[in-house]
Amino acid sequence: MARRRLVYEGKAKILYEGPEPETLIQYFKDEATAFNAQKKAVIEGKGVLNNRLSEFFMTGLNAIGVPTHFIRRINMREQLIRMVEMIPVEVVVRNYAAGSLSKRLGLPEGQQLPRPILEFYYKDDALGDPLVSEEHIVAFNWASQQDIDDMIALALRVNDFLSGVFLGVGIRLVDFKIEVGRVYDGDFQRLIVADEISPDSCRLWDIETGRKLDKDVFRQDLGSLADAYTEVARRLGVMPRNAARMNAGPKLVN
Ligand code: UDP
């Protein structure tokens, strides 16, 4: 079989050339990174779970008319996606204070915000993805004012959808990040949700117990990340058939 052309390799995913024009194959790795890749580990099964979970969220978004890059899942670790021109900005939506917002403004973690708060971060690893304003985005030509308005509308719809889905399974969506890309349909262009939506890019707290079910488990050494993601997948009914065994493996006994 011919070797596929690698288009891009990131921290948690690899992009390969797709089978048709304007498509890519997105491969989910088991690598976990945090603090701008200063902390790294391989979490067995994470890629499989995130592939499934991102498929689940993107399929739901497509179904309610929020356009995404997702076309179909190919196998345990890969999905077919539309090629997009990435906007070099991360869009964060927050419903409760946590993480960098709590630090920056001295808000207690878990405090409900008066309304969803939207932030933009400039995607630049060397700079550590700094917080930027709409002024920066337009002035430096990363996106137009119209693009910003479209990104805000997309992100708020994603927030309503995800908040509802998680609420239904007893999970609080504290905050999340999305990335957005541009596609061209003939003379028209539009922005669609790209990258991934998974517990790597959300803060998810169990509503009853407050247990963290997202990448903070890894950032803060709170236990098994694979167990946390498996719990999210199980509650959403998107467990891969062999997931129960996936992390079990043979165990060394004394
Ligand atoms: N986030 C992300 N990728 C990043 C930065 C943030 O997916 O490069 C997510 C993060 O998981 C959280 C939300 O965006 O759900 C807000 O993150 P925050 O600004 O609080 O930064 P952090 O505390 O993660 O450094």
- Please give the Cα distance from 196 to 168 (Å, whole number): 21
Give yes or no: residues 58 and 74 share one domain.
Answer: yes
Q: Tell me: pLDDT of 250 over 60.
A: no
Copy the structure tokens of residue 86.
Answer: 């990435």
Q: Is the minimum distance from the CB of 116 to ligand 1 under 6 angstroms?
A: no
**Listed residue (248, 187, 237) closest to 45, CA to CA:** 248
3-state secondary structure 161-217: HHHHHHHCCCEEEEEEEEEEEEEEECCEEEEEEECCCCCCCEEEEECCCCCECCCHH
**Listed residue (37, 152, 137, 140) closest to 89, CA to CA:** 137
Lowest mean pLDDT among 76-80, 108-112, 131-135, 240-244: 240-244
Give yes or no: residues 14 and 37 share one domain.
Answer: yes
Give yes or no: residues 125 and 234 share one domain.
Answer: no
Give yes or no: residues 111 and 79 share one domain.
Answer: no
Give yes or no: residues 34 and 109 share one domain.
Answer: no
Q: Report yes or no on 217 lying in a domain.
A: no
Q: Report yes or no on 218 lying in a domain.
A: no
Total domains, the chain? 2
CATH code (residue 149): 3.30.470.20
Atom nearest to 35 CA in ligand 1: 25
Give yes or no: residues 64 and 95 share one domain.
Answer: no
Q: Is the minimum distance from the CB of 92 to ligand 1 under 6 angstroms?
A: yes
Residue 50 has φ and ψ, to the nearest 5°, of: -65, -35
Write the residue with the smallest CA distance to atom 7 of ligand 1. 201
Q: What is the pLDDT of residue 25?
A: 98
Average pLDDT over residues 123-132: 97
Q: How confident is the model at residue 3 (pLDDT cuts 50, 70, 90)?
A: confident
**Listed residue (153, 10, 169) closest to 93, CA to CA:** 153
Q: Report yes or no on 56 lying in a domain.
A: yes
Give yes or no: residues 121 and 196 share one domain.
Answer: yes
Residue 229 has φ and ψ, to the nearest 5°, of: -70, -35
Q: Is the minimum distance from the CB of 204 to ligand 1 under 6 angstroms?
A: no
User: pLDDT digit string (tens) for 215-229?
Assistant: 999 999 999 999 999
CA 186 – ligand 1 centroid, Å: 35
Copy the structure tokens of residue 128.
Answer: 């550590």
Give yes or no: residues 76 and 12 share one domain.
Answer: yes
Q: Report yes or no on 1 lying in a domain.
A: no
Residue 22 falls in which region: left (phi positive, over 0), alpha (psi -120 to 50) or beta: left
Rounded to the nearest integer, the mean pLDDT of the chain is 95
Q: What is the pLDDT of residue 145?
A: 98
Q: What residues make up the domain containing 157?
A: 85-206
Residues 6+ apart with CB under 8 A from 38: none
**Listed residue (175, 178, 199) closest to 102, CA to CA:** 175
Q: Is the minimum distance from the CB of 196 to ligand 1 under 6 angstroms?
A: no
What residue has token string 């670790």? 77
Q: What is the pLDDT of residue 236?
A: 98
Give yes or no: residues 149 and 163 share one domain.
Answer: yes
Residues 116 and 95: beta-carbon distance below 8 Å: yes
Q: What is the pLDDT of residue 245?
A: 52
CATH code (residue 70): 3.30.200.20
Give yes or no: residues 126 and 183 share one domain.
Answer: yes
Give yes or no: residues 112 and 62 share one domain.
Answer: no
Q: Is the minimum distance from the CB of 201 to ligand 1 under 6 angstroms?
A: yes
Copy the structure tokens of residue 91.
Answer: 């869009």
Give yes or no: residues 169 and 235 share one domain.
Answer: no
Q: Report yes or no on 159 lying in a domain.
A: yes
Q: How many CB atoms lie within 10 A of CB 98?
A: 20
CA 245 – ligand 1 centroid, Å: 30
